[in-house]
Chain A
């Protein structure tokens, strides 16, 4: 690779380069920012991501295959990059006041956030299994630390330990899967794998085993049943601002990897994999929604909700092997991820507003009477809950609608029925939160932080407005199809 070639490559991933260099610089700059002025670090982190976001938005139609085919910039990666950077910026807005209240002000928090965002962005552009592995680690390792950043609080440390153990275990499975795929095809590049399969030179047994291990490992990352058991504990123990980001960013990045790898490299394996995906999706939706009913702690409730949502996103992938449906598969999965991100951020910002020190204010009872004292918070939470349930005209409804449509196109009406029924079940525990807020008496405590309120109301408004005018958004997701 010569210099002009290299500069073209670097130019293609400019948003990523900006975030990584910014993170390294911020790590050093933060050393000279006093403890009272960590807001400056937060601001700098947000500015870095904003700059990167502007670059990405300025060239949304950029398509390039660079770094000898290891990196692919296309509609898919641009869509996800915008999603990750947006999530990162919102996460900073949610974190600043929360960290101050909880006494967790550390500059490293924002630096780690930048690093994990850069890992997610790398995942979006990865078109080689080596890069997928690097991205997976780059996004996971900072998250392990972030989950434990509230040390010496025991629940945070415990969450960090569990997340680390399960996360690195799943990474081990992912790399073993990659090694098997490499052995079967003699290459790690996704395009090379396709070539090897079409040429018939791939060892199919090894390849299927490798693909299955990749699915298991990534299934841990996105919390598919039966690989979900770490999720409630980790989500509950980690600081809420970290959990909010983890629930959205890590899940979206995991699905980015699954979509890219399976749709681009493994369509030939769909005969073997589709039944597996079918069962995983059904289990995830059923278990996530049913167990969520029993939860009284709002963080655990949202954790199970995130498991259930992983099931809905996976639905889009079930018919991925049919070449005429694959484009819709990608589009509806991306659209669902976007809807999920907006909904989650709305819900989590209300949770953060109500959380008190020492993990108080997280039970359902603490939400009783919220509508009287904090009508805006209650309203935004209601919008989020309706969107999670899938009530029109919210974005959540359209997300589910497109996913179910893809499923019917692919010819899986049975699974679609399971999806609809579990959505109805989920209405019980989502609407119970609304009932508590509006129909029970209570003395809820919440803080009034302008950034948090802006984030909460803005994303709630987006849920409704984008829900009504969703056409351009879905058109954008549809352009993001993988070649």
Chain B
């Protein structure tokens, strides 16, 4: 049983690099090559690229990003709470409500401070 599992992994280890290598090498050998400017361009979902690739983003993004990061990760506590909502004792339900209230207080603060406005 144990060795059989290892055998599978071994087979995959060999196959995994082979397949993409073949997919890259075979076209290189047999495909015709007719480069022109449009083909050489960076592919960006069909749009033409504008300007340099390495630009700095406006710093406004970062406050959004930070606020988002906090609210996003704090949701990890709400998820189990929401799933077990109907079997939780009253106290735990109220705890969850309190948690949301604290998050809302934080949101109100960010909002009043103008962190959600685009300036």
Direct A–B contact in the complex, CB atoms closer than 8 angstroms? yes
- Minimal beta-carbon separation of A77 from chain B (angstroms): 22
Contact of A28 with B90 in the complex, beta carbons under 8 Å? no
Contact of B113 with A31 in the complex, beta carbons under 8 Å? yes
Asked if B34 lies at the interface with its beta carbon under 8 angstroms from chain A, I say no
Asked if A6 lies at the interface with its beta carbon under 8 angstroms from chain B, I say yes
Q: Which of B82-96 contact A (CB under 8 A)?
A: 89-92
Chain B, residues 71-104, CB within 8 Å of chain A (1/0): the string is 0000000000000000001111000000000100
Query: Chain B contacts of A31 at CB under 8 A?
Result: 108-109, 112-113
Contact of A3 with B91 in the complex, beta carbons under 8 Å? yes
Asked if A464 lies at the interface with its beta carbon under 8 angstroms from chain B, I say no
Which residue of B89, B90, B92, B105 contacts A27 across the interface (Cβ within 8 Å)?
A: B105
Contact of B109 with A28 in the complex, beta carbons under 8 Å? yes
Known: A24-B102, A24-B105, A27-B105. A1 touches B112 (CB 8 A): no
CA distance A2 to B109 in the complex (A): 33
Contact of B108 with A28 in the complex, beta carbons under 8 Å? yes
Contact of A2 with B89 in the complex, beta carbons under 8 Å? yes
Question: What's the interface size class on A, roughly?
Answer: under 10
CA distance A27 to B91 in the complex (A): 26
Chain A, residues 1-24, CB within 8 Å of chain B (1/0): the string is 111011000000000000000001
Q: Is the interface of A mostly helix, strand, loop or mixed?
A: helix
Q: Is the interface of B mostly helix, strand, loop or mixed?
A: helix
Known: A28-B108, A31-B112. A6 touches B91 (CB 8 A): yes
Query: Chain A contacts of B92 at CB under 8 A?
Result: 1
Q: Which residue of A lies closest to B109 (CB)?
A: A27
Contact of A1 with B91 in the complex, beta carbons under 8 Å? yes
Contact of B105 with A28 in the complex, beta carbons under 8 Å? yes
- Minimal beta-carbon separation of B67 from chain A (angstroms): 15
**Looking at B90, B91, B102, which has the most chain A CB atoms within 10 Å of its CB?**
B91
Contact of A1 with B89 in the complex, beta carbons under 8 Å? yes
Q: Which residue of A lies closest to B101 (CB)?
A: A24
CA distance A24 to B112 in the complex (A): 14
CA distance A409 to B109 in the complex (A): 54
Query: Chain B contacts of A28 at CB under 8 A?
Result: 105, 108-109
Query: Chain A contacts of B90 at CB under 8 A?
Result: 2-3
- Minimal beta-carbon separation of A122 from chain B (angstroms): 15
Q: Which of A21-37 contact B (CB under 8 A)?
A: 24, 27-28, 31
Query: Chain B contacts of A3 at CB under 8 A?
Result: 89-91
Query: Chain B contacts of A2 at CB under 8 A?
Result: 89-91
CA distance A3 to B90 in the complex (A): 7
CA distance A25 to B105 in the complex (A): 8
- Minimal beta-carbon separation of B11 from chain A (angstroms): 35
Query: Chain A contacts of B102 at CB under 8 A?
Result: 24
CA distance A2 to B90 in the complex (A): 7
Query: Chain A contacts of B105 at CB under 8 A?
Result: 24, 27-28
Query: Chain B contacts of A1 at CB under 8 A?
Result: 89, 91-92
Q: Which residue of A lies closest to B91 (CB)?
A: A6
- Minimal beta-carbon separation of A466 from chain B (angstroms): 39
- Minimal beta-carbon separation of B70 from chain A (angstroms): 12
- Minimal beta-carbon separation of A31 from chain B (angstroms): 4
Q: Which residue of B lies closest to A6 (CB)?
A: B91
Chain B, residues 29-47, CB within 8 Å of chain A (1/0): the string is 0000000000000000000
CA distance A205 to B105 in the complex (A): 46
Query: Chain A contacts of B109 at CB under 8 A?
Result: 27-28, 31
CA distance A24 to B108 in the complex (A): 11
- Minimal beta-carbon separation of B114 from chain A (angstroms): 11
Q: Which of A360-419 contact B (CB under 8 A)?
A: none
- Minimal beta-carbon separation of A237 from chain B (angstroms): 23
Q: Which residue of B lies closest to A5 (CB)?
A: B91
- 4 A-B pairs with the lowest CB-CB distances in the bound complex, closest first: A6-B91, A31-B112, A24-B105, A27-B109
Q: Which residues of B contact A (CB under 8 A)?
A: 89-92, 102, 105, 108-109, 112-113
* 20 A-B pairs whose Cβ atoms sit less than 8 Å apart in the complex: A1-B91, A1-B92, A2-B89, A2-B90, A2-B91, A3-B89, A3-B91, A5-B91, A6-B91, A24-B102, A24-B105, A27-B105, A27-B109, A28-B105, A28-B108, A28-B109, A31-B108, A31-B109, A31-B112, A31-B113
Known: A3-B90, A3-B91, A31-B109. 15 other contacts (CB 8 A): A1-B89, A1-B91, A1-B92, A2-B90, A2-B91, A3-B89, A6-B91, A24-B102, A27-B109, A28-B105, A28-B108, A28-B109, A31-B108, A31-B112, A31-B113
